[in-house]
C-alpha cells in the first residue's frame, strides 16, 4: 500500500500569524542582532580590533564566548557553510520524493556562489575585502618592535599578529598583498622594507599582511544569516509534512524525522552564535551590515533559474 505521506499533496510550510518561516527567521535574526548590539553598547562588551587580533586560546576574557578561539567558533562557525552544506544535502537525501526538488539544489548553488563571492573571490578580491579597503582600511604588515619584548609574531612566525602600534610597527604595503594573503619577508620583498622609521626585522621574519581599520563587515553574522534563512526555507516543508503525517496517524520515516530535527538544532546553534557575535565583536554598523548583506545573499539564492519549472515542482 502506498505511503500516504509521500503520495498526498505536499502541505504548505507552517505559518505563524500569517508569516512564512523564512520571514519569522529574518525577523528573529534582526531582533537577535539588535538586542546583542544594545547589550554590548550598554555594557561595553564589544572588543577592539587589536584585542581580537592578538587573542590566543589562553587569553583571559570575561566570557567563554568572548574569545574567538572558543570551541563553537573554531569547530562550527569557521566551517559554517560546510556544516550547512552537509545538513542541506543530508536533508535532501532523507526527504521523501515529493520534497526532492531541483529548485532546492539550484538555491543551494546560488547561495554557495553568494557566500564565495563575499568571502573568497569576486573576479579578484573577495567583496568583504574590497569593502574594507574602499571604506578607508589599509593593508599593513606588523613588524615586531624591539621596544616591546613581548610583541608578536616571534621570528619566523606565519601566524597573524596584533595590530596595536605599540607592540608592532605597522608597515603599509599594497592592498593587493592583503587580497592575495601573500607571506612577506625582507628577502622576497626587499623594496617594502625601506621605511625610515621601521625597526630591523628579526632573522627569519616572514608574515602575511592584514587589513586594519575600514568598515569590517561582520563575516560571521553575514554567513550565519544566510545559513539560517536558507536552511529554514528548505526544512520548512519537512516541518509541515511531519506535522501533517502526525495528524493522520502516519509515522514519518526515521531518517527524515531525525535529519529534520538535526537541521533544526543546527539552525538554533547558528542563531545562538549570531547573538554571541553581536554581544562581543564588531561595531554596531558592522553587525547590521553583515545582517543586511546576508539578507541580500539569501535573496540572490531565490532567483529563479530558467531551466527549472518551479511551478510544476510546487504542485508535485
- Write down the pLDDT at residue 130: 94
| Integer CA distances (angstroms), 270 to 100, 167, 248, 302, in order | 24, 35, 32, 21
Of residues 198 and 117, which shows the higher confidence score?
117
Residue 198 has pLDDT above 50, yes or no: yes
pLDDT in tens, 200-215: 888 888 888 989 889 9
pLDDT in tens, 11-29: 566 555 567 899 999 999 9
CB of 59 within 8 A of CB of 274? no
At 8, the pLDDT band (50, 70, 90 cuts) reads very low
Residue 223 has pLDDT above 80, yes or no: yes
What is the rounded distance in angstroms from the CA atom of residue 288 to the CA atom of residue 278? 9
Percent over 90 (pLDDT), the chain: 50
pLDDT in tens, 133-166: 999 999 998 888 765 544 444 333 334 444 555 5
Q: In this predicted structure, which of 38-52, 98-112, 213-227 has the lowest mean pLDDT?
A: 38-52
- Write down the pLDDT at residue 7: 44
Of residues 63 and 261, which shows the higher confidence score?
261
At 282, the pLDDT band (50, 70, 90 cuts) reads very high
Average pLDDT over the chain, rounded to an integer: 84
CA atoms within 13 A on the CB side of 18: 0
pLDDT in tens, 165-195: 556 788 899 999 999 889 999 899 999 888 8
* Mode of pairing for the β-strands spanning 138-144 and 168-172: antiparallel
What angle (nearest 5°) sits at the alpha carbon of residue 143, between those of residues 137 and 145? 120
CB of 145 within 8 A of CB of 163? no
Amino acid at each position: 500500500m502506498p505511503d500516504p505521506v509521500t503520495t498526498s499533496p505536499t502541505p504548505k510550510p507552517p505559518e505563524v500569524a500569517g508569516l512564512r518561516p523564512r520571514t519569522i527567521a529574518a525577523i528573529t535574526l534582526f531582533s537577535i542582532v539588535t538586542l546583542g548590539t544594545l547589550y554590548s553598547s550598554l555594557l561595553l562588551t564589544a572588543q577592539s580590533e587589536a584585542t581580537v587580533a592578538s587573542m590566543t586560546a589562553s587569553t583571559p576574557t570575561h566570557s567563554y564566548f568572548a574569545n574567538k578561539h572558543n570551541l563553537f567558533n573554531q569547530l562550527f562557525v569557521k566551517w559554517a557553510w560546510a556544516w550547512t552544506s552537509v545538513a542541506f544535502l543530508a536533508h535532501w537525501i532523507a526527504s521523501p520524493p515529493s520534497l526532492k526538488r531541483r529548485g532546492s539544489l539550484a538555491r543551494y548553488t546560488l547561495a554557495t556562489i553568494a557566500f564565495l563571492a563575499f568571502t573568497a573571490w569576486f573576479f579578484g578580491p573577495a567583496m568583504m575585502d574590497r569593502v574594507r579597503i574602499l571604506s578607508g582600511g589599509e593593508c599593513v604588515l606588523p613588524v615586531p618592535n624591539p621596544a616591546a619584548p613581548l610583541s608578536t609574531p616571534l621570528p619566523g612566525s606565519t601566524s597573524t599578529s596584533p595590530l596595536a602600534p605599540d607592540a608592532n610597527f605597522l608597515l603599509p604595503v599594497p592592498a593587493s598583498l592583503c587580497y592575495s594573503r601573500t607571506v612577506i619577508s625582507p628577502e622576497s620583498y626587499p623594496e617594502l622594507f625601506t621605511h625610515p622609521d621601521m625597526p630591523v626585522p628579526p632573522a627569519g621574519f616572514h608574515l602575511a599582511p592584514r587589513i586594519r581599520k575600514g568598515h569590517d563587515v561582520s563575516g560571521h553574522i553575514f554567513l550565519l544569516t544566510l545559513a539560517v534563512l536558507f536552511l529554514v526555507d528548505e526544512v520548512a516543508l519537512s516541518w509541515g509534512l511531519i506535522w501533517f503525517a502526525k495528524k493522520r496517524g502516519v509515522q514519518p520515516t526515521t531518517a527524515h524525522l531525525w535529519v529534520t530535527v538535526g537541521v533544526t538544532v543546527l539552525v538554533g546553534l547558528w542563531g545562538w552564535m549570531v547573538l554571541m557575535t553581536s554581544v562581543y565583536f564588531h561595531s554596531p554598523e558592522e553587525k547590521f551590515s553583515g545582517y543586511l548583506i546576508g539578507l541580500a545573499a539569501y535573496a540572490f539564492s531565490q532567483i529563479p533559474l530558467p531551466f527549472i519549472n518551479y511551478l510544476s515542482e510546487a504542485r508535485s
